[in-house]
Structure 1
Amino acid sequence: MSQEKALRNRFKFRSIATRLSFWFFIIGMLPLIMVNIAIYFHMVNAMKVSIFNRLEATRDIRVAELNRWLDERIVDVRTIADDNDIRVLERIRNVGKEDERQKAAIVSEARELLRRYLQHYDDFYEIFIVSPFTNRIAVSTVKEREGQRPVHDFHFEGALKSRKLFIEDIHYSPTLNNVCMAFSIPVFSRKDSSVVIGILVARFNLEASLYKRLSDRMGMGDTGEAFIVSKDGNALNQLRWRKDAPFRMKIGDHAALDASLGSTGIMETPDYRGERVLAAYTYIPRTQWGFVVKQDLKEVYAPINSLRKWMIAIFAATVLGVIIVAVRVAKSISNPIKALHKGSEILGRGNLDYKVGTDAKDEIGQLSRIFDQMIENLKTVTASRQDLNREIHERKHLEKMLLEIREHEQRRIGHDLHDNLGQQLTAVSFMVQGLENILRKKMLPEAEDAARITHLVEMSKSQVRTLSTGLSPIVEKGEYGLMTAMVELVSNSERLFSIPCDLRCEKFVMLYDESALTHLYRIAQEAITNAARHSKPEHIEIRLSKDKYKITMTIKDDGRGFLMTKQMNTMGLEIMKFRASIINATLDIRPEINKGTVVACIFYDKRESEIRIA
């Protein structure tokens, strides 16, 4: 609730010019903001689509280049394996052990052929042929390795088992002390194409071939790069910021993981440096590689950031223009209104001869002329205003005097009842008691009648005492008078109406304004009387409470309630309201049918605040 009030106060303006300027600015800016936001997001979305398409196109081009490189190497290896001069190696099996010179000549011829291929294809490190019978290198471009067993069995086992081309994954080679990749393919006999006479293994120079293609970052800006990962997430090539990454770094970002698992897509994700990047990724099935092309978001979205700065600059300039227009329009409307306001202030100070009319033809000009005409009419009315105020003051004074006269007469009647009728009833009571004693001594039956007369006289005395107290209550002066008066009122009301009455208050309520004491007492007395006469309650309760200087008096009953216009004494209600208005108190009467009535009177004890300040 306090926040709503603070927000409401924040939008209160001290001048109509400020208010008009503010709302003209809001009206002008709302469609502008909506249009700018729509244009901005449309352009950003279009730019993002273009950026995504460009990066995906780069990915597809690089993947196509990588597949073309694989196809070319496959053709190279197949060409070597199908060379008849290579197949001549099958003659080695037919040469006897005693003719080593012929074997050496055949091997030398094959080695020279492989070396010519090695010179012709720059992508190769080494080419060798493994014998399927001995699992040793029969011929190699590196003569020293002939007769040795390959370091890795997968060099020839994959092709030997599948009897077709086998692409080995990139791996670390201890002989080269570097990462390498090899293709292996069976070499079949010329005589029987189903017989494998050797496994041709071609090991590639990745630095001069594959890595060179991957390190080409044309079209990827200052932060872009392309890399491949194994199915285990290991980096297989050098990275832009990690030259030693192959088999020494495991890339765990989402793009690399999704690519290694066979997915294709594009996403924003942190890379291996923790930098946010835009990554396009895919999967290369025949090598089981994940391929990723990425670029830092700062660079990718640089055009969007530039667009945002331009939009902010245009928006700021537009806001300035809207403010200038709103202020000028607001002033054209508010200046005539200010003139009217100034005239009303002058007229309010009593100068009814001042004219505020203008020559303007619009509604404000017409209003100013009507205002002058109204002032002329007011001159004739003002003359009678003082007479009216004097009459109202006299009437209020008369009402107060009537109330005081009524209070005085009630007190006089109460005193007469107590002093005259009460004393006479007391004398009658004594006389009847004496008569009763005489009759009892004479043992006459009339003694019982005398006793009943004595009882009726005592009851009359009690009722006279209650009536006299109600008409003329003994109100104690001082700050404790309210509590004393309420206790006395509850006691007298319970005796008078034979209805249980209670006074409840959590703490002692002190009243310092003695002039309000009688009026509060009479309001409570009238409320109890109305409840007892009209609601037929089983219980009446008076509650007193005090919060700082606010005193709350509540009279509540559990009767059947009443309709104020029919069942309630309207004179008593008016007097209650009048008494409350005299002491500047508020009076609230809430009757409900079959639920009783609640009368609440709230009074602010200003006398207490004056005493405390003093």
Structure 2
Amino acid sequence: MKIQKKLQIIALSFLIAVSVTCILISRNIFTNIIKEQITNNLINTAQSRAEHIKTFLDLEKEMVKQSSESIVFRELLLSTEEEESYPVKFNKVMQRLQNTAQVGEYTYDSFVLDTKGTVIASSYEEDIGQDKSNDTYFLGGKEDVFIKGVYISSHKQRKTLAFSAPILDEDNKLLGVIVFRVSAEPLFKITTNHSGLGETGEAYLVNKDGYMITPSRFIDEVILKQKVDLKDIEVPSLAEPPDTSPKEEVDIIKDYRGIEVLSVHTHIPEMNWHLIAEIDVEEAFAPVTKLTQTLILVFVIILLFSILISSFTSRTITRPLRRLYEGIKEIMKGNLNYKVSNTSTDEVGQLSRAFDEMTVNLKKSREELEEYSRNLEKKVKERTRDLEIDIEKRKKTEKELDKSQQEFASLFTGNPEALVYIDEKSNILDINSRFTQLFGYSLKEIKGKNINSELIHPSVESIEEGKILEKIVLSKGYVSRRKIRRKKDGTLFPVSISASPIMINNQVKGILGLYEDITEQVQNEERLQDYLKEIKKDRKNLKRLSKKLINTQEEERRKISETIHDDIGQNITAIKINISVIEEAIKSHAFHKLKERLLETKSQLEQVFEQLRKLNIDLRSPLLRDLGLVPALSAYVNSYKKRENIDIDFEVINLKKRLNKEIEIVIFRIVQEAFTNISKHACADNIYLRLENKKSKVCVLIKDNGKGFNTKNVSDLEELSNGLGLIEMRERIETIGGNLDIKSSLRKGTQLLIEMPVALQLSLEIPVGLGDELLVK
């Protein structure tokens, strides 16, 4: 094969291998990035919508609570219809209720119930006298502020929330209940805001019964009609503290339409609602599919170009020599403009560049004179053009200056941020409307007053800082600071202050100050610092576990190496010697020696096979993979019993099906770890192993009658584990929702109890003969 063909095959093979690897790695990385971005976006969306809903509920609760404390309602409930003042009190209450229904942004009906649940006053007079004693807003409102979830109001057939609160006398005795009917439209606006959710994303609320209580993006008329499967949602118990934060990892489930979606949810404990944010899987991972197609197309294009390039590789090797030869002939003819140099760094390239330098030196003087003449003429033209441009710029600047002075007033008054204009003595000359909104002062109230006073400063120290700030502005020209300021009503809040001097004819005529309310920004920064602290803590834990995993891998490799070298290697060496002896016996026709050597070789081969089988079982039991946990443990128990001469009782209770693969591996490794520790440290002669299925969880109990240890000593726990360690095993069990309990005392044996959530798979049939001591119940 020619060198040219060899180079082409090597280059193309390398290119194909690298390209395929890059495509697979890129797809995997991009898939993880997309999933992480979608997860973060859905979590942020769920958190934001949940906070808005809580804010709306809290505001409405506060309104009904404040109304329940009004003396107007209390006086009516303390009066009787026979009193002369009763009509006056009744009219006041009616007027108050009607005003509440008219003025409230979402409240469309309000009424008062007496202690028997009868409507005695209502913004709708036709409701007076109705019995509401069995309604939940009356029963719940007698105790405290109560919210009745979304329902269809029979009064106006509107989707409604009801807020109720008790009306108490001075001795906190119940007089009645006030109820506000509020439109559920604000909830719909919050959840139907699809910003950041793409074309198929949506957020919706589900009540405690699993029915949607906000509109769907895809189906009409779903409120209180569409049932949502909550089996994938963890509903917190009443004994647990409320956790409203969304799940940190997105789930791929089928939604109420039967379509696969990426979904997160958050719980609103007060109403026992679930806010679900989700997006279709097809839309979420569309960029991954597109990237894969693009990478394949790029790979094909690169492959075609590589084929073309490699075809010319051999010819390009001789091309520099041919060009150098032609250049030398041209220079010999007197053509000093011909260039023979190339970019190569070998001897041919150095020689060609030396010829070029020779021709350049001959032409240098003449070219320098010509270049100088051309540059001089060019500079004259450029200078003339610059003068013309300067004149035009000056005229344009004068026009823009006039225009900017006219626009300053409109920009000042229309600026979205608070602006104040003070003179060189810090007296206030003008403010815009935003300043009035932010601080509560009108221009009439503070015009002419010194800004470095108690108007907006919370303390004497703040006033002094303000004076220093003005000095910095006048000396440096611009300054930006974060400070605390006070509103007219005494409220303190953080602001970002930007100030710059106003210069007219190079003289300071005042200072323009801009105040921006950064309350929300400061709160976000504080939350960000808390998040960073949590992230640092998590990274520290991950580094510790990673280090332990690396050490464990090295220890397993060392064990495998020792087994191969010490056991298998010695047997193979003996087999090699026997084969040599057999070969010599055959050559010398000493056949009487062959049988003994062959039997010895066969025995050594059986030992090698048994050592390899044991090593394979230690690394990964084939019974565990093919038949499941119970057969694998049964075989391991029999092998351990014969090897260590320890009596073992193995019991299986109520486990007829296979467990989840990950749970089976964890249980099998823990049993191996525990049995290894017993043989090394416990000095026990009896072990009890029980595997039991208890409805929603599987329990593993391991007990021995050995010498035991002190469970309060962490170093003792670490010493007992030659793998990940019992402490790290506990972390691994907890990551799949389980827990590990260790009980031991000196000279009284050790007990390990593992509990983890059960996930059954295929039916389990235990092969006969795997465990004579196995008892299945």
Calculate the TM-score normalised by the size of structure 1. Answer: 0.47
Calculate the TM-score normalised by the size of structure 2. Answer: 0.38
Q: Which has the higher contact order (CA 8 A, sep 6+)?
A: 1
